[in-house]
């Protein structure tokens, strides 16, 4: 997934002693990560569109046609996941602009720099997210 490449481009943020949580420097760091990730995803989507247009071949053999349709379906499913991630990135950028980034939507506590490094689009602290996942598993049973 595209999020795996983040740590290669951006070293983890090291908080200075006495630095306030979600300072301007921290917000700029996470904004750069989100902008970079969004740019990569948009490039991937555009590349897929051009590739699909170029490879619009009609195969006479039904097996070849089925294979091509399967590849296209998989690619479209991946692009749909990336489209949803772009939406989350846009929401995270909006939270930065509103001054709400880095705080749990559920309880309001700090999400934490390490969690945001791992998942820059996180909206919940680890405790609230764990409880939510436990509830989802109970409902699914």
Q: For the segment 8-40, what is each residue's pLDDT rounded down to a tens digit? A: 578 888 888 889 999 999 999 999 999 999 999
C-alpha distances (whole Å) from 127 to each of 69, 112, 130 are 42, 11, 5
Task: For the chain, give the mean pLDDT.
Answer: 87
User: pTM for this structure?
Assistant: 0.81
Q: Quote the number of domains for the chain.
A: 1
What CATH number is attached to the domain comprising 31?
1.20.120.910
For residue 2, the model assigns a pLDDT of: 44
- Establish if 70 belongs to a structural domain: yes
Residue 58 placed within a domain: yes
The residue with tokens 């409902």 is 139
Q: What is the pLDDT of residue 47?
A: 84
Inside any domain, residue 16: no
Tens digit of pLDDT for each residue in 104-121? 999 999 999 999 999 999
DSSP-assigned beta bridge partners for residue 103? 110
Q: Which domain holds residue 60?
A: 2-8+21-140
Tell whether 15 is covered by a domain. no
- The number of angstroms, rounded, from the C-alpha of 136 to the middle of its chain's C-alpha atoms is 21
Tens of pLDDT, residues 40-90: 999 888 888 777 766 666 677 888 778 888 888 888 898 899 999 999 999
How much is the pLDDT for 25? 94
What's the confidence (pLDDT) of residue 22?
A: 94
The answer as to whether 14 is a domain residue is no
- In-domain check, residue 34: yes
> pLDDT tier at 1 (50, 70, 90 boundaries)?
very low
103 found inside a domain: yes
């Amino acid at each position: 997934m595209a999020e795996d490449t983040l740590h290669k481009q951006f070293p983890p943020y090291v908080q200075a002693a006495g630095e306030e949580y979600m300072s301007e420097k921290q917000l700029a760091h996470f904004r750069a990560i989100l902008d970079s990730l969004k740019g990569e995803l948009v490039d991937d989507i555009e590349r897929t569109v051009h590739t699909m247009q170029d490879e619009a071949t009609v195969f006479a053999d039904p097996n070849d046609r089925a294979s091509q349709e399967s590849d296209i379906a998989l690619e479209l499913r991946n692009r749909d996941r990336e489209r949803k991630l772009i939406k989350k990135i846009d929401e995270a950028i909006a939270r930065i602009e509103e001054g709400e980034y880095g705080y749990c939507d559920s309880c309001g506590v700090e999400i934490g720099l390490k969690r945001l490094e791992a998942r820059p689009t996180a909206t919940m602290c680890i405790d609230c997210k764990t409880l939510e996942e436990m509830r989802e598993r109970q409902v699914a049973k």
